[in-house]
Structure formats: C-alpha cells, structure tokens
Amino acid sequence: MEEGESDLGERKGVWVFSEKHDLALEMLGKGREIADKLQTELAAVLIGFNVQARADELIEYGVDKVYLVDNKTLERFQVESYLGVLHDLAINYKPEIMLIGSTRNGRPLAARLATRLEAGCVPECTRLSVDEHGQLVGERITYGGSASAKIAFKTKPQIVTVPARVFEKPEPRNRGGQVIRLDVKAEEPKTAIVSVKPLEISGVRLEDADVIVSCGRGLEKREDVRLLDDLATVLGGVVGNSRPLAEDRKWFTEWVGLSGHKVKPKLYIACGISGVIQHVAGIRDAKVIVGINKDEQAPIFEIADYGVVGNLYEILPALKEAFKKQLG
C-alpha cells in the first residue's frame, strides 16, 4: 500500500504520544475508553533517551504496548526527528487513532504527521467519542469560544491533539503490557538547538497557591495589576489572570483556564473576569470562588460562591483594607 492511502479496514489500535510524560499519562484514560469501545489495543509511543522508566510507568497505567525508540539523538524534542520516527511507526504498525499531546511541540508535529500520512487532524480536542460507525469524533471550541464543533474523519489514521488537563490521569492499572524496543533511524534535523535555559520562576506556582486573586479584561491598565497584588499580598496569595491578558495584551505569560493552568486554591477571586466556560474549566476545583464584576449578568456569578456586583477599582482597595484589619 502506498503511503498516505486511506486503508479504512486494516488499521487497528489507539495510540497515545506526547513528549510531555504527564500529558501522555492523562490521555491514557480516554485512550483506554476508546480502545475498549473499538475492541482494540491501547499503545503508547515513547521517544527519547534513557526513558525505560517512563515505559514502565506507561505499562503501569494500563497500555497494552509501548513502542519505545530510545536513542541519544532523540534526547531533546526536534520536530523533524520525532516526526520521522512517528511517521515510520505509523506506516509500519498502522494505528487507527492517534492522540497527540497538544503542546507547543505536539501541535506542529501532529499537523506535519497528518500531512505526510494524508490523514485528517483535529486539533485542540476537549472531548472525544466514538460514533455508531466506530469512527472517532473530536469536539473542539471554535468561533472565539462561542461554539463547539464536532468533527468526524474521512480518512485514517484519525489524528487529534489533546491539550493538557482536559482529561484526568487514570488510576494505575497494570494489564501486563509489553515494551517493544525499536531501532528507528532518526531523520537528520534541519535546525540545531544552540542552548536551552530554564525560565526563572519567582514565587509560588499558580497550581500550588492557596489563594489566587485573578484579573481579566475588566482591568484597564497594566499598572492596575498592583491593586490585585496588594490584595494577594494581604491574603498570602498570588495573582492570576484570564487568557486575553496574556495572549492579547501580553501583560502575563501564563493564564488560568482550559488551555492554561488548572488551579485548585482554597480561595479564587475573579476580578473583572466574565467567567466563560474556557476560564471556568480551570477553576472548578477551587474551594471558594468569589466573583467581582460590574455586570450582574456575568456568567461568573453562576458558579461563584460569593458575588460582588460593582466596580473592581472601588472594591479591591476596600477588600484589602477590610482583610488587613481582620487579619491584623
């Protein structure tokens, strides 16, 4: 069969791949559900160097097979090399479905793989299901968050990308899977990594914070973040934000929500955040949610434990003073 030909009948298996190990583990629960429904096997592809321990962990989490390509040249992610390996494996072992972690690296990898295989690719799926014909259906948010689209495939393999924290990591459930070590020759990358420097992260990570005071587009100027900082300091917390403050205004590099950090503080104060589904998806595990918004119809009030209707520029300083008095 020629590469790229759509062989609807012959393919089998659900594959999971992400260069981020946690994300690969998260996708295994959904992968298992789909594999069981299709009565096929669940496999993980693991690419890297000295990664046997990860292979063992994938087996512990219930995969039937790990296709392991362990090679010094694959120590760091490089799209050409990883693409070459995945493509080779897909041609030889013919998976029916491939779930690829939707990371900065995974998205271009999935798109290029789909192009090479002449297959369809549905990016950023927040839901996955199997229809009555045994076909995968990916669901993704579209039209700037105001609609969700269900997309089915006309070709195989059916390739989707899945963002982090969309699916829960399953409980470990070793089914006695096997590790298949493969010696795939990695393609020579066309770029070289000159250096990698870890970013310096100051303070507490959003995921670990007990109190988060978070701002949205209701905040007018960058310097007004100080208002949130002041309240967060009094409460011993950190400042968070909605996605547009990072992506559009570039005030922050990270954000809270479906495509950002999923947080679980004891207290989450959403200031000037409308509270649409993509934001709320990241704060569902917060113990107490407080919404501060001048629009009493704002969706944040549907999920908030406490709601304050009003101008954040008046409420934040007043709250800070009140807590200061209360907490001494």
Ligand X SMILES: Cc1cc2nc3c(=O)[nH]c(=O)nc-3n(C[C@H](O)[C@H](O)[C@H](O)COP(=O)(O)OP(=O)(O)OC[C@H]3O[C@@H](n4cnc5c(N)ncnc54)[C@H](O)[C@@H]3O)c2cc1C
Contact positions toward ligand X, by CB under 6 A? 124, 141, 144-145, 216-218, 242-244, 255-260, 272-274, 276, 278-279, 282, 292-295, 298, 311-313
| Minimum CB distance to ligand X smaller for 25 or for 292 | 292
| Minimum CB distance to ligand X smaller for 243 or for 320 | 243
Residue 314: partners with Cβ closer than 8 Å, 6 or more residues away: none
In angstroms, how far is the first alpha carbon of the chain from the final one? 75
Tokens 């999935």 map to which residue? 110
Residue nearest ligand X, CB atom distance: 257
Strand partners, 48: 70
CB of 315 to ligand X, least distance (A): 7
| Minimum CB distance to ligand X smaller for 71 or for 259 | 259
| Minimum CB distance to ligand X smaller for 59 or for 219 | 219
CB of 23 to ligand X, least distance (A): 15
| Minimum CB distance to ligand X smaller for 147 or for 196 | 147
CB of 123 to ligand X, least distance (A): 10
CB of 143 to ligand X, least distance (A): 8
| Minimum CB distance to ligand X smaller for 30 or for 279 | 279
Nearest alpha carbon to residue 91 among 7, 183, 188, 189: 7
Residue 82: partners with Cβ closer than 8 Å, 6 or more residues away: 19, 47, 74, 105, 109
CB of 244 to ligand X, least distance (A): 5
CB of 268 to ligand X, least distance (A): 12
CB of 289 to ligand X, least distance (A): 14
CB of 140 to ligand X, least distance (A): 7
| Minimum CB distance to ligand X smaller for 8 or for 149 | 149
| Minimum CB distance to ligand X smaller for 48 or for 272 | 272
316 vs 218: CA distance, rounded Å:
12
CB of 225 to ligand X, least distance (A): 13
| Minimum CB distance to ligand X smaller for 59 or for 206 | 206
